[in-house]
Amino acid sequence: MNSDSDQLLIHSAKRTIALESDAILALRDVIGPEFAGACRLLLHTTGRVVVTGMGKSGHVAGKIAATLASTGTPAFFVHPGEASHGDMGMITRSDCVLALSNSGNTHEIITLLPLIKRLGIPLISITGNAESELAHASVVHLLAAVESEACPLNLAPTSSTTASLVVGDALAIAVLEARGFTAEEFAFSHPGGTLGKRLLLRVNDVMVKDKEIPKVRPTATLLDALGEITQKGLGMTTVVNEDDTLQGVFTDGDLRRAIENHRDLQHTTLETVMSEIPRAISENMLAAEAVGMMERHRISSLVIVNESKSVCGVVTLLALLKAGVA
């Protein structure tokens, strides 16, 4: 492909991004009391939010339903065509309907309006046409009109679907904030994958425990520490007193520096060379927080202590990497 063709492709991409960005920015001018009213309806819904849309709007509706459900607002997607053939039975009198249609006159959705009215449940719509049948039938209508699609033919839904998606995201986040939705609640609905691990996995799940913890006394020699570090394979050892209270840490880096300084391996005790103010954490700390702490302080391990400051574990950056957190 020649450079002229490349430039045409790049120009097209930048034009599309600019047009869709402009469409999003224009939404700020139409967000007002109606938006707040829609949020109140969602907050007061005792059932689920039923999100519906046809075609590309249907794909956007599915994403909005998923975002609502994962941020504290029970929601699901219903295909308007299927709703006319039995799936209306999924909608109850305690639900709320959120309908998406750029034209506001999509036949499959208009067909559902009498049924929604018969159930006596609130209808929120997101359309690009304030004078449409769907807009007029809604308790709250949110306008997501765009000047033109990013498609040069002004046909393929592009800017309009992006605008609808942003309005849906704005609803979800506004309601999330109004509910006081917490990170712990978010984690409950995202238990899988990297996101779930970052939100749910705690240090206690990956730390070395019991006899696998490297431990020596402050009076131990450098040679003793070398043996413990080698045996336990963590590149460090904790230094504890008789009741396992943490006194310090000694790492393989400390050992190298001691050797460079010509310290006697057999007679130098750890109390003279250990790090006396080690960084210690609770076993209930999120694993992701432990990673952040290691990165900030440029260390590869952390000691875990209980309420009485006794050592109960060690977590390493390698273990966190293997767990998929780092």
Cα distances (angstroms) measured from residue 99 to each of 65, 84, 116: 11, 15, 11
Cα distances (angstroms) measured from residue 207 to each of 21, 174, 181, 286, 293: 46, 38, 29, 12, 15
| pLDDT on residue 201 | 85
| pLDDT on residue 9 | 94
Determine the longest span between alpha carbons in the chain, in angstroms: 90
| pLDDT on residue 56 | 96
pLDDT, one tens digit per residue, over 246-301 is 999 999 999 999 999 999 999 999 999 998 878 899 988 988 899 999 999 999 99
| pLDDT on residue 197 | 72
Domain boundaries, the chain: 3-181, 203-322
Please give the backbone phi and psi of residue 57, each rounded to the nearest 5 degrees, phi first. Answer: -65, -30
Reported in sequence order, the residue ranges of the chain that DSSP labels E, i.e. its strands, are 49-53, 75-77, 96-101, 123-127, 140-143, 215-216, 236-240, 246-251, 280-281, 301-305, 311-316
Please give the backbone phi and psi of residue 244, each rounded to the nearest 5 degrees, phi first. Answer: 70, 15
The answer to whether the beta carbons of residues 145 and 128 sit under 8 Å apart is yes
Judge whether 3-181 and 203-322 match in fold.
no
Residue recorded with tokens 């991409």:
13
pLDDT, one tens digit per residue, over 97-119 is 999 999 999 999 999 999 999 99
Residue recorded with tokens 């209306």:
88
Please give the backbone phi and psi of residue 274, each rounded to the nearest 5 degrees, phi first. Answer: -75, 160
Tokens of 161: 């679907």
CA distance 32 to 170: 12
Q: In what order do the strands lie in the sheet with 301-305?
A: 280-281, 301-305, 311-316
| pLDDT on residue 193 | 66
| pLDDT on residue 326 | 66
Fold entry, domain 203-322: CBS-domain (3.10.580)
10-residue mean pLDDT series, the chain (326 residues): 84 96 94 97 97 97 96 96 94 97 97 96 97 97 95 93 97 96 77 72 91 94 94 94 92 91 91 87 90 92 91 93 82
CA distance 228 to 220: 10
Evaluate whether the domain defined by 3-181 bears CATH number 3.40.50.10490: yes
End-to-end CA distance of the chain: 40
| pLDDT on residue 164 | 97
Please give the backbone phi and psi of residue 283, each rounded to the nearest 5 degrees, phi first. Answer: -70, -15
